[in-house]
């Protein structure tokens, strides 16, 4: 998969020590590392996710994918999906008479 990254320029080494060359080399490596560490955009035709966390988003970073009942969800801090959280309510009483 291509990410369309710009290739860094690595200058030719001089025969002897040259400060300008080392500065250019350090800048090229810095540029390379910045690109390598940035995930960038992705566009896929086929995608297989094999080890998604199931049932909750506990411990996942914002934007991570997880699966709940066969549905892929995106972890968001303001929408927790904690395993085992549920609620029941009771309101009033119902009386049934058989005649």
Instruction: Give pLDDT, residue 85.
Output: 59
Q: Report the pLDDT value the prediction gives residue 84, as an integer from 0 to 100.
A: 63
> Can you list the alpha helix ranges (DSSP code H) found in 1-99?
19-37
Strand partners of residue 54:
67
CB atoms within 10 A of CB 34: 10
Q: Kindly state the average pLDDT of the residues 53-80.
A: 89
pLDDT per residue as tens digits for the range 4-53: 777 777 888 888 888 998 999 999 989 888 888 887 787 888 989 889 99
Residue 96 in this model has a pLDDT that exceeds 50? yes
Residue ranges of domains in the chain = 9-40, 45-84
- For β-strands 53-54 and 65-68, DSSP reports them as parallel
| pLDDT number for residue 9 | 77
């Amino acid at each position: 998969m291509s990410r369309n990254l710009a290739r860094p320029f690595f200058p030719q080494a001089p025969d002897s020590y040259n400060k300008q060359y080392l500065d250019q080399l350090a800048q090229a490596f810095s540029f390379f590392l910045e690109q390598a560490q940035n995930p960038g955009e992705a566009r896929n035709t086929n995608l297989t996710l094999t080890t998604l966390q199931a049932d909750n988003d506990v411990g996942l970073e914002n934007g991570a994918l997880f699966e709940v009942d066969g549905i892929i969800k995106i972890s968001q801090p303001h929408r927790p999906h904690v395993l085992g959280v549920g609620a029941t309510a009771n309101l009033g009483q119902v009386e049934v008479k058989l005649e």
